[in-house]
Structure 1
Amino acid sequence: MDALRLIRDHVVNGHISASTHDANEIHLREADVPLRRSAETNYRSKVGNKLLKVEQIWYFIKHHVQNPSMAHTAYMKAAIADGFATLSMLDRNDLIDYLTGKKATSERIDVTAVLVDDEAGIDAGKRAREDEDEDGVPRERVLRDRNSVLRAPKDMTSVLAFFKAPEEEMERLQEEKQQAEDLAKGVKNQRYRDVKEQVFWREHVGSDFDFMNLDTNASFLSGPNPGVANGIDVPSERRTAPAAQPSAPSGPSSVSARKPSAMPAKAPVKKKTSGIPGGIPIIIVPAGFNQKVVLNMFNAKEFLQNGKFTPWDVVQKSGAKKSSSVYISRTYKRDGSKIKYEVTEKAPHKRSEDWARVAACFVLGAKWQFKDWPFRGVEDGDLVETFSKIRGFHARFDGDPEIDVVKTWNVKTITVSRTQRHGDRAAFEFFWDELDKHLALRSSALKY
């Protein structure tokens, strides 16, 4: 039974106000089939992507028709008082437009959803009469047509994940094998494993690097023989033969004989590496300051850490100082423990090892935002590899139009209100749930 369409027909025909309910069913009109309150419709909510129930949609639209100017918070209080499940502010405008006939369909309607009628909520006689015309001839019920199927949202995430998982597993095994071989050879320097070493040394040493025969994994003072240091022949006049050790020192001349011929080599200083697997995840936010920017360094910490959204210009006018990078402590779905994340408006240098820690980014909708990123295709505006390795998000206000180019990217849209704050928590939880799914799919070693 297409409960959503039945409710819509009653709203359009002006009959929804006359509908009634009891503890288990919704009665649109006496001659209609009663709808089970707890039955699911084929309308998917923007919060959690769950199918809304009959009682949520019916009570909401009836309340709106009777009180069109009343705030959403007033509707929620009334629904709770009457014992009805509520729906989110994020679904409000779209449902009103569809149920009142302002638009013919909605992208949130899932025509592939399997809806099972409850035997306790169906009168077979009424259903049979509904499916016959005046002459008693059965008539065809058109539930879906070609256009409605084409307009339906299509989520290919599970399909892509199915084919991508074996490929990522193979890459991981090859990387572990390479690391094991390097350790067996005594190679300890892993700083440039993502950049060709030859290119790095030519850029920093010069074009003569190819003729110097340098051993980039050796220490500065070591060499295969006394006449070679780091693969470079030392002139014979600079070589010093080891001094003979006297059997017994005697006289002042013995002092000079005891002097070492060279200072002992110092152990190489280990440099701190922040981009190794298991590091603190990085979240990149825009550095912009216009009215369409939802999150930047003024308000990102409060939203991502506590789920509380305040427009950035309000924070700025309050006298708050902006930093280019801050740390947040996440407790959401972490059993009381605090997990540290770094939030920054500055992307790492193109060759920086910190790219291994970048987990998410918020996009503005302009390709120039990624011009210095190290992923394949960014120079040509191709961001497929970028958003396969980094979870992309687009934060927008509910009154702003969607950006066409963002629709072609593999990013998730987070919609917030400029003035209403009751939907902020849902947007906050949606962000963290999507980021967790992305990192889990990539078997990330970051501390998230």
Structure 2
Amino acid sequence: MATELQQPLSLLRDYTRNNKSVVLLDSSGQVVSSVADAATVQFGDHSFPRQVPTNLKKSVNSDETYTLDTLIFLIQNAQLDNSAYITEGRLRNIEHISIIDKKKILDYLTGRLDTLPNVEDNKTEKRARVETADTNPNKKMRAIDDEEFVKKVVARERECVTRSSILRGKKNFDHVVILAQTLILGKEPVHPNSVGSAKPGARLVSQPSAISKIPVPTKLNSIRAKGAKLSSRDKIPIIIVPAAPTAKFTLFNIKQFLEDQVYIDSQELRESGIKKPEQVTVERKKANGQTVPYYVVDSVTGFKQSDWDRVSCVFVTGQQWQFKGWKWERPVELFNHVKGIYPKWNTDKTAGAAASWAVTDLNIHRHKRHMDKAAVSQFWDMMDNYNANSRPYLNF
């Protein structure tokens, strides 16, 4: 085991900066590749339990610290975007690092940053210094004097406003939620103050507020009116995939990906003799147990305005001819009205014209099929966010 003065954080940083590999061992002593499967972490002659606390605090003013496996997991998944990183952490049951602190902690571990304000001093080293001072009366007095001096300095400290401290602001944004409920969802505002101060059993009397007097914009009125005219069937969102056989997602494999969370090459399904359907219905199973249908098509022939109003997203190949004959043929107009998704291998860059379009990349791992769940989760998160803002009248 590691000696008392050895800190796992300093060892991990040293190994990362010098491109040395730590050894991850499971409970039986076998070497594993993922920290999620490990029980012990070895740094040469020193070893630590996987979840040993480090001296890297979660924030400057926090008493909680990150565990060793959380930091190793960050290094192992540094190439993932924020959404995929968080999702993979949840799947592996490993705590993720705050997105605000993720980059600077990664820079510290890789040596790009020399210091971090939330790295606390080694407590064992502090204790060793005090014990040494106890054996020498002169050193003990000097240690006490130093402690008094530090207290005086701390008493005169003033916290500086930095980029990080601004992001950790303490302002209350409940009024923004109330405003959104009133203007977009058409709900009656619930006043937190009145709810919190109400006595048990007392009736809540709605109080007039400035928010309730704000006129609803004309655009929001039109969105509500649009939703009121649709039947339950006509509120089902539509997803458009390419008809090109070489596309990452087609009508052959989109259902397996979004429902079963597994990517299968559409060419393999085509060559197996499966007949391409004219339309696919994807049944999304939400966390609350609700099942929500989505229609998937690869042709807009015969589309009416009401159909275009239901289009949630378009999977693009990067070729502009894909949009020929559409209501909006120019990508600038198209992606101003619908959500654009560009699926690609996670090791590839956005190619062709798609690099200049207002589309969002959906990264698919070429060989790691267990990562498909994270990609599907990222896709539904994007859809929920887009539909809530641009298609609130649909069932999603």
Q: TM-score when scaled to structure 1?
A: 0.46
Distance 1:178 1:346, change over 3 A: closer
Q: CA deviation at 1:309?
A: 1.6
> Helix, strand or coil for the counterpart of 2:235?
coil
Q: CA deviation at 1:433?
A: 1.2
- 2:68 is equivalent to residue 37 of structure 1: yes
Aligned to 2:313: 360
Say whether the 8 Å CA contact 2:332–2:357 is kept in structure 1: no
Say whether the 8 Å CA contact 1:363–1:394 is kept in structure 2: yes
- 2:332 is equivalent to residue 382 of structure 1: yes
Distance 1:427 1:177, change over 3 A: closer
Alignment of 1:335-346 (within 5 A): 335-346=288-299
Q: Structure 2 CA distance, aligned partners of 1:285 and 1:355?
A: 14
Distance 1:118 1:319, change over 3 A: farther
Say whether the 8 Å CA contact 2:315–2:340 is kept in structure 1: yes
Aligned to 2:268: 314
Distance 1:315 1:52, change over 3 A: closer
Q: Structure 2 CA distance, aligned partners of 1:419 and 1:2?
A: 34
> Helix, strand or coil for the counterpart of 2:222?
helix
Q: Structure 1 CA distance, aligned partners of 2:372 and 2:245?
A: 21
Distance 1:49 1:353, change over 3 A: same
Alignment of 1:416-435 (within 5 A): 416-435=364-383
Say whether the 8 Å CA contact 1:20–1:26 is kept in structure 2: no
Say whether the 8 Å CA contact 1:283–1:343 is kept in structure 2: yes
Aligned to 2:242: 286
Q: Structure 2 CA distance, aligned partners of 1:356 and 1:365?
A: 23
Q: Structure 2 CA distance, aligned partners of 1:116 and 1:320?
A: 57
Q: Structure 1 CA distance, aligned partners of 2:305 and 2:394?
A: 17
Q: Note the residue ranges of structure 2 that are not aligned, 5 or more in a row.
A: 1-8, 24-41, 56-64, 97-106, 129-175, 185-215
Say whether the 8 Å CA contact 2:235–2:310 is kept in structure 1: yes
Say whether the 8 Å CA contact 1:280–1:340 is kept in structure 2: yes
Aligned to 1:326: 280
Q: CA deviation at 1:420?
A: 2.9
> Helix, strand or coil for the counterpart of 1:423?
helix
Paired amino acid for 2:238: I
Q: Structure 1 CA distance, aligned partners of 2:356 and 2:11?
A: 33
C-alpha distance after superposition, 1:239-297 (max 9, x if no partner)? xxxxxxxxxxxxxxxxxxxxxxxxxxxxxxxxxx77x996111011111112xx21111
Q: Structure 1 CA distance, aligned partners of 2:378 and 2:224?
A: 37
Q: Structure 1 CA distance, aligned partners of 2:87 and 2:14?
A: 15
Alignment of 1:47-446 (within 5 A): 48=83, 50=85, 85=94, 116-118=118-120, 170-175=217-222, 279-290=235-246, 293-333=247-287, 335-347=288-300, 349=302, 351-375=304-328, 378-379=329-330, 381-383=331-333, 386-442=334-390, 444-446=392-394
Q: CA deviation at 1:392?
A: 1.6
Distance 1:354 1:123, change over 3 A: farther
Say whether the 8 Å CA contact 1:362–1:393 is kept in structure 2: yes
Say whether the 8 Å CA contact 1:47–1:426 is kept in structure 2: no
Which is greater in Rg? 1
Q: Structure 2 CA distance, aligned partners of 1:311 and 1:277?
A: 31
Q: CA deviation at 1:300?
A: 0.7
Say whether the 8 Å CA contact 2:248–2:344 is kept in structure 1: yes
Q: Note the residue ranges of structure 1 that are not aligned, 5 or more in a row.
A: 28-33, 57-75, 88-97, 106-110, 127-160, 184-189, 191-272
- Percent sequence identity over aligned pairs: 22
Q: TM-score when scaled to structure 2?
A: 0.51
Aligned to 2:395: 447
- 2:7 is equivalent to residue 10 of structure 1: no
Paired amino acid for 2:219: R
> Helix, strand or coil for the counterpart of 2:19?
helix
